[in-house]
Amino acid sequence: MPQTEPLREEHPQYLVTFREPGPAGARALTEVIRAPQLVGGEPTVGVSEGRIVLAQHLGVHARVYTRLAVAATNLTPAERHALQAHPAVSGVYLNERRRLPPFLRHGLAGGEGGARELAPPAGDDPRRAYLRGMRDLLDLLLREDDGSAAPSARDFAVQERWEARREQGPGAARIEAALRQIGVSPDAAPNGGEGVRVAVLDTGADLGHPDLTIAPGNSRSFVESEPDAQDGHGHGTHCAGVIAGAAQPQGVPRYGVAPGATLLIGKVLSRRGEGFDDQILEGLAWAVGLGASVVSLSLGSRRENGAPYSGVYEDLAQNLLEEGVLLIAAAGNDSARPRFVAPVGNPAACPSVLSVAAVNQWDQVAPFSCGDTDGVGAIDLSAPGVGILSAVPGGHERFSGTSMATPHVAGVAALFKARRPELGARELWAELLRTARPVAGRREDVGAGVVQAP
């Protein structure tokens, strides 16, 4: 979003979804809140990028995203009630905060450093204790999986040597084990995914990283306090690298699934890894306007067992499927298997959002990966999510989480879309499920299986 736009500092309280895309939603909202459409004046106000801005209402401009069929606004209780009863409106929801799932950072590529959390929360954050427990449980389970012969989660130098012994053959050292796990050959075309635009809505990206090609105009920040898309956190860069890291990165094996895909980097989360739905909607509208056909969402919020999925994300995801845009989201990292399994978080729990679980290098569900515990949030696919190598600002590191599994699926989606451009979003989803490699485990944990490249 341009730095001069006053809407950057506004915080709408509600999101309104409409039954169909187009200007009808803006007319319905105008009818209820009596805020006329702004035309002329500032170049950033009015009809642009598929959004209509209405005059300030209760201190906030109403923003209608016509292609997403959703609006962000403030409302009085009477207006909220009137909109809920309006025939053009499908729902009225609170503008909620979303965050990165808690995940593990294992240190520099090659095994330097121990596992640690990436997010830099200040003070006594309960996530620290949670992540330490998750790390220790992961170590224990990895050792148990192979009778203590397998490497621990914190010793990735040993793991790389172990993987090299396990995978002998031409080109094995040129490609990361996670890519072999999803069926990417060491001799795969370096331009896989060419012509497909994949949006990464996250903490931004290292715009100068040598492994990432991000064209001018293909990155933008929607975080009011951080006006450019440069990644001050690391998570977004890592996800972008998994999707489209270079085919021949310097000093490490290839780890990018679809090096030829075009990255669209939308910073919708701050350097602390958090942001509101209206920021995510701004980023989504921008990406769709630039032609994204796949959107990777390694973000969300926890959902209590039996709680409903997010209405606002389900409504917009349904609309985007019809527009040819597939949303792929991380299931969440709130489990501590085998002690307990947490339900899939939002927005991954939505039926029209493809949800991704994480598996380890032996195709076993990762101990932190959320599952379908209540029949509300299903797992659709799984992908490698333990000890994943990718780019970070200034280098490469290994992370663990469903956040890392999600961009593997997004990258494979780009490979399929590049080979068969005629595939719509629903057909692309069906092809990903049809070609997945079945693995041991419950469907509630791994979905249709591990995603496979074409």
What pLDDT does residue 104 have? 82
Q: Is 104-446 CATH 2.40.110.10?
A: no
| Preceding omega of 43 cis (within 30 degrees of 0) | no
If you average pLDDT over every residue of the chain, what do you get? 85
Catalytic residue list: 202, 235, 403
Q: How confident is the model at residue 3 (pLDDT cuts 50, 70, 90)?
A: very low
Average pLDDT over residues 143-167: 40
CA dihedral 150, 156, 159, 160 (to 10 degrees): 180
What pLDDT does residue 449 have? 98
- Would you call 113 helix, strand, or coil by DSSP? coil
Average pLDDT over residues 41-51: 48
pLDDT at residue 117 greater than cutoff 60? no
pTM of the model: 0.86
What pLDDT does residue 6 have? 60
What pLDDT does residue 186 have? 83
H/E segment holding residue 127 = helix 126-145
pLDDT tens digits for 54-113?
988 998 999 999 989 999 999 999 999 999 999 999 999 999 999 998 888 886 654 433
- Would you call 325 helix, strand, or coil by DSSP? coil
pLDDT tens digits for 426-449?
999 999 999 999 999 999 999 999
The answer to whether residues 192 and 260 touch, using CB atoms and an 8 Å cutoff, is yes
The side-by-side arrangement of strands in the sheet containing 294-297 is 219-221, 262-267, 197-202, 294-297, 326-330, 354-359, 381-384
pLDDT at residue 383 greater than cutoff 80? yes
What pLDDT does residue 109 have? 55
What pLDDT does residue 262 have? 98
What pLDDT does residue 395 have? 95
What pLDDT does residue 10 have? 84
pLDDT tens digits for 26-36?
899 999 999 88
Beta bridge partners of 64: 52, 71
Domain ranges of the chain: 6-95, 104-446
Q: How confident is the model at residue 157 (pLDDT cuts 50, 70, 90)?
A: very low
What pLDDT does residue 13 have? 95
Count other C-beta atoms under 10 Å from residue 374's C-beta.
Answer: 16
The answer to whether residues 198 and 264 touch, using CB atoms and an 8 Å cutoff, is yes
The answer to whether residues 115 and 104 touch, using CB atoms and an 8 Å cutoff, is yes
pLDDT tens digits for 184-211?
998 888 889 999 999 999 999 999 999 9
